[in-house]
Amino acid sequence: MPKNRPNLKDGQLLRKGHLYFMPHLSLDCVIFGFHDNQLKVLLLQWKDTLRWSLPGGFIYKDEHIDDAANRILLSRTGLHDIFLRQFHAFGEAGRVEGQHGLKEISTSKKTWLHERFVTIGYWAIVEFHNVMPAPDEFSEQCKWWDIHRIPKLILDHNMILERALASLRRNLNDYPIGKNLLPKTFTMPELQRLYETVLDKKLDRRNFQKKILSLDILQRMKQRKTGVAHKAPFLYKFDEKKYQRALKQGIKFGI
Amino acid sequence: MPKNRPNLKDGQLLRKGHLYFMPHLSLDCVIFGFHDNQLKVLLLQWKDTLRWSLPGGFIYKDEHIDDAANRILLSRTGLHDIFLRQFHAFGEAGRVEGQHGLKEISTSKKTWLHERFVTIGYWAIVEFHNVMPAPDEFSEQCKWWDIHRIPKLILDHNMILERALASLRRNLNDYPIGKNLLPKTFTMPELQRLYETVLDKKLDRRNFQKKILSLDILQRMKQRKTGVAHKAPFLYKFDEKKYQRALKQGIKFGI
DNA sequence: CCAAAAGTGTTGCCTTTACACCCATGT
DNA sequence: ACATGGGTGTAAAGGCAACACTTTTGG
């Protein structure tokens, strides 16, 4: 049960954060979404410096780090129960000596935020349309960026993002994907675009269909997609039970 | 360059550790070795309580976490330049409330070591014969345990070990193994035993040989192994350049 | 000379890959 | 009608698993 978790505003985080959060330890989330046949990442722009970064945060002293990741995800996206995966802890000695996002930090005298930080990286995949990106009191805005057009981020966040993407790609061969990235129902070409986008590679339409269907995690709906040009594609949805089983047991996709 | 790294003895770690180490953050190493056709793990027994644990330690305030892992590995095994892989950070809120290895901790009043700890797990694979297990001033002994006969360990170390083994197995499909687990030269059956032991699964002798050779990372020596019963097997060694390339680029083993 | 272990090759199956044809729809 | 995208099938290739025979050595 959360006990010591006040909502720290403004300068309070700087002055009082060390009372409630674990020092030296932070957490960064790479939140992937899928829209317009493009892989997107949710980024945050800091006030004052207007620099961009991964959404991140700190871990309450009585909080499981996975819960902290979920909390941070919830606060930026409004989403619960997201597929979340820890992929690496980054602990170079000089990590925080780069430039911060907050001007206040750069200019104020030494606080707990000036100390060295080890950060634990998580990635998540979310359904684009369900997300209402939410900046907090420290951030100017929070918005989706195309994976191919990521700006220069603070600290080592560009590298962390790269590592997250690599982890996501490796994950693709062992576990199904799509449940949280696509709408409830979707077409086979849409699912293929998702795979092609994440892998950054063209796939054969027919072989892809065969492979995916052989995983036995999809259900074909009765009606086809309406209001589209050309031949109407079938709609599919994930079979919840089978999808969950595949998530646990793993699959052999081999792409 | 290391600046603030005194060698803390006895009670000093308890009283002064917080001055030099990052608080709340520890590191545990699962050190795998291979001997007698068995996978071994190096474990440490604490003084006083005589309880067993994974070798671990803390991270100096100016130290890269990977360097800390290497330092801990060096201190327990005497080995440099070991293949080391970070596999997970464990951060349940109540991690340290289980029983400690040091009686001194349990009985002394609250110190930095009583606080909650997040621990970062690494695994390493080392050449069994090169290792001289070295206990430190806190430990009664340091010795190899068969993977199938691991005792009850302190805290959540049994779970961490399980996770390390799972990570090692997954790693086997994407990267070569053996360089640090086998002697300089070895026979094909020996290498196969290694794979079988790690995977805990029987493999076909002939198919294994074909697959391994197709990776193009081995060099066959001119002479065969001498002084063995039955037909003398060929000796092999790893082709250093090709092995390193395979480590970087990955392989497709698929077992 | 026999048992046990090691070297080598072959076959068939099954997965993957490449590719062709037909169908539906909006322009 | 036709261009475009979607649904389905098939043949060739390649990888993998199952398996048999020969060679060598110690006892």
Alpha helices, DSSP H, located in B130-252: 157-174, 188-199, 205-214, 240-249
Tens of pLDDT, residues B81-140 = 888 999 999 999 877 765 677 777 777 777 888 888 999 999 999 888 888 888 887 888
Q: How far apart are CA B92 and CA B40, in angstroms?
A: 27
* Residue A212 approaches strand D within 7 Å at CB: no
Pairing of strands A38-46, A139-146: antiparallel
User: Are A127 and A180 contacting, i.e. CB atoms less than 8 angstroms apart?
Assistant: yes
Domain for residue B1, yes or no? no
Q: Clarify whether residues A53 and A23 are in a common domain.
A: yes
Q: Are residues A96 and A141 in the same domain?
A: yes
A10, pLDDT greater than 70: no
Whether B213 contacts B141, CB under 8 Å: no
Beta-carbon contacts below 8 Å between A and B: 56
Q: What is the mean pLDDT of chain B?
A: 90
Pair A110, A226 in one domain: no
pLDDT of residue A3: 63
**How far is B175 from B161, CA to CA, in rounded Å?**
20
pLDDT digits (tens, 9 = 90+) for A100-159: 777 777 777 778 888 889 999 999 999 888 898 888 878 889 999 999 999 999 999 999
Closest CA to A56 of A157, A147, A131: A157
Q: What does the alpha-carbon distance between residue A76 and residue A131 come to, in Å, rounded to a whole number? A: 8
Q: A193: closest CA among A39, A28, A32?
A: A39
Under an 8 Å CB criterion, which residues of A touch B? 22-25, 59, 61-67, 86, 88-89, 91-93, 116, 118, 120, 170, 174
How high is the pLDDT of residue A112? 84
Place of tokens 């390193």: B244
**Within a domain: residue A5?**
no
Is residue A117 in some structural domain? yes
CATH value at residue A214: 1.10.10.10
Structural tokens at position A206? 């027919």
Residue B149 approaches strand D within 7 Å at CB: no
Give me B73's structure tokens: 């590995």
Q: How many domains does chain B have?
A: 2
Could you tell me if A59 and A29 lie in one domain? yes
Q: Please tell me which residue, A194 or A12, carries the higher pLDDT value.
A: A194
* Closest residue in chain B to residue A116, using alpha carbons only: B61
Tell which of A116, A141, A171 closes a domain.
A171
DSSP code for B37: T
> Do B115 and B238 fall into the same domain?
no
Q: Which of B217, B219, B208 is closest to B246 using CA atoms?
A: B217
Round the average pLDDT of chain A to a whole number and report it: 90
The verdict on A68 and A104 lying in the same domain is yes
Quick check: A218 pLDDT over 90?
A: yes
Domain shared by A191 and A238, yes or no: yes
Last residue of a domain, one of B147, B171, B195: B171
Helix/strand/coil percentages in chain B, nearest 5: 35, 25, 35
| Rounded-to-integer distance, Cα B121 and Cα A39, Å | 31
Calpha distance A32→A42 (Å, rounded): 7
Residue B97 confidence (pLDDT) = 62
Q: Is the pLDDT of residue B13 over 80?
A: no
Residues A23 and A136 occupy one common structural domain = yes
Are the beta carbons of B123 and B27 closer than 8 angstroms? no
Residue A100 lies in a domain: yes
Provide the token pair at B248. 């970087």
B149-190 tens-digit pLDDT: 999 999 999 999 999 999 999 999 989 999 988 999 999 999
pLDDT confidence of residue B10: 63
Q: The dihedral of CA B214, B218, B222, B227: what is its sign?
A: negative
Q: Are residues B112 and B235 in the same domain?
A: no
As a whole number, mean pLDDT of residues A37-47 equals 93
Q: Is the CB of A230 under 7 A from strand D?
A: yes
Quote the CA–CA distance of B165 and B152 in Å, as a whole number. Answer: 16
Within A155-217, strands assigned E span 186-187
Residue A254 lies in a domain: no
Is the CB of A91 less than 8 angstroms away from the CB of B66?
yes
Residue B80: CATH number of its domain: 3.90.79.10
Is residue A3 assigned to a domain? Answer: no
More confidently predicted of B7 and B139: B139
Q: Which chain B residues 163-192 have CB under 7 A to strand C?
A: 187-189
Q: Long-range pairs for A234-238 at CB < 8 Å and ≥24 separation?
A: A234/A187, A234/A188, A235/A185, A235/A186, A235/A187, A236/A185, A236/A186, A236/A187, A236/A188, A236/A191, A237/A184, A237/A185, A237/A186, A238/A176, A238/A178, A238/A179
Residue A177 lies in a domain: no
How far is C-alpha B50 from the geometric centre of its chain's CA atoms? Answer: 21
Q: How many CA atoms lie within 13 A of B166 on its CB side?
A: 9
A7 or B201: whose pLDDT is higher? B201
Q: What pLDDT, on a 0 to 100 scale, did the predictor assign at position B232? A: 96
| The pLDDT of residue A181 is above 70 | yes
User: Is residue A119 a part of any domain in this protein?
Assistant: yes
Please tell me the pTM assigned to this model: 0.92
**B154/B196 same-domain check:** no
Mutate which of B64, B97, B115, B251 to test chain A, going by most A C-beta atoms within 10 A? B64
Whether residues A225 and A158 fall in one domain: no
Residue B57: partners with Cβ closer than 8 Å, 6 or more residues away: B26, B27, B68, B71, B72, B75
Which residue, chain included where needed, has tokens 């925080």?
Answer: A96
**Same-domain check for residues B25 and B120:** yes
Of A110, A142, A171, at which residue does a domain stop? A171
With beta carbons under 8 A apart, name residues in chain A contacting B91: 59, 64-66, 120
Q: What is the pLDDT of residues B138-157, one digit of tens each?
A: 888 999 999 999 999 999 99
User: Nearest nt to B233, CA vs C1'?
Assistant: C6
Mean of the pLDDT values across residues A202-214?
96
In which domain, by residue range, is A70 found?
10-171
> What pLDDT does B159 receive?
97
